[in-house]
Every structure is written in structure tokens, then in C-alpha cells.
């Protein structure tokens, strides 16, 4: 059985991953991306924002991260190499978060 310290560390790790996911999505807003990709990325960022924070239940994180993955599936290319790298990182983070839930 996991100790409460282990559970706290896992929760902190999860919150950190969600914060990193949000930061990657937020960073794409500062980059010159194609209009359609910008819409999907903006929506993904807004949805992810609901999952950021110390008091967000895991069920909410799971739902929002799943929604972020679905939204990102609509983004093939952004027209910006830097944004494409952020999107790839966001996809990897979303996958990692879902694997931990």
C-alpha cells in the first residue's frame, strides 16, 4: 500500500505535468500559427486551464486532458516550426498524464 507521502509526490508530479502541458499550449499563442490551428490550440489551452491547480480532482484532470488530446488531433501543422514542436510536446505530455491516471 502506498504511503500518503508517495501519493502526494504522485499528485505533485501529475500537477507539474498538467502545468507543463498548459505552458506548451499557452506558448503557441505567442507564435505565428495558421488560423485554423490557432483555433484548435486556443480551445485546447482553455480546456487545459480547467485542469491546472492543486485542488483539481483527478477525474477533472482526466476528462480535460482527454479533451485536449482530441482537440490536438485536429492540428496537423501550424505553419510554425516552433509551434509544431510545442504541439508535439503537448501531445507527449497528454499521453504521459493519461498513462499516470
The pLDDT score that the predictor gives to residue 51 is: 97
The pLDDT score that the predictor gives to residue 10 is: 76
Q: Where are the beta strands (DSSP E) in the chain?
A: none
Residue bearing the bigger pLDDT, 46 or 9: 46
Distance, CA of 86 to CA of 97 (rounded, Å)? 16
The pLDDT score that the predictor gives to residue 30 is: 93
Q: In this structure, is the dihedral angle defined by the CA atoms of residues 62, 67, 73 and 77, taken in order, positive or negative?
A: negative
Quick check: 52 and 97 in contact, CB under 8 A?
Answer: no
pLDDT in tens, 45-96: 999 999 999 999 999 999 999 999 999 999 999 999 999 999 999 999 999 9
Question: Rounded mean pLDDT of 30-37?
Answer: 96
Q: How many domains does the chain have?
A: 1
**Residue 75: is it exposed, middle or buried by C-beta count within 10 angstroms (0-12/13-18/19+)?**
buried
Question: Rounded mean pLDDT of 93-101?
Answer: 96
Residue 1 confidence class, pLDDT cut points 50, 70, 90: very low
Q: Which domain holds residue 16?
A: 4-100
Residue bearing the bigger pLDDT, 10 or 51: 51
Q: CB within 8 A of 20, min separation 6: which ones?
A: 93
Quick check: 24 and 93 in contact, CB under 8 A?
Answer: yes
Amino acid at each position: 500500500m502506498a504511503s500518503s507521502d508517495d501519493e502526494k509526490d504522485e499528485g505533485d508530479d501529475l500537477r507539474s505535468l498538467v502545468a507543463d502541458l498548459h505552458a506548451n499550449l499557452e506558448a503557441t499563442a505567442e507564435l505565428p500559427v495558421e488560423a485554423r490551428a490557432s483555433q484548435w490550440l486556443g480551445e485546447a489551452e482553455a480546456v487545459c486551464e480547467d485542469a491546472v491547480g492543486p485542488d483539481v480532482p483527478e477525474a477533472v484532470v482526466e476528462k480535460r486532458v482527454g479533451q485536449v488530446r482530441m482537440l490536438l488531433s485536429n492540428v496537423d501543422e501550424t505553419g510554425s516550426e516552433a509551434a509544431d514542436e510545442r504541439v508535439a510536446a503537448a501531445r507527449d505530455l497528454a499521453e504521459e498524464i493519461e498513462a499516470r491516471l
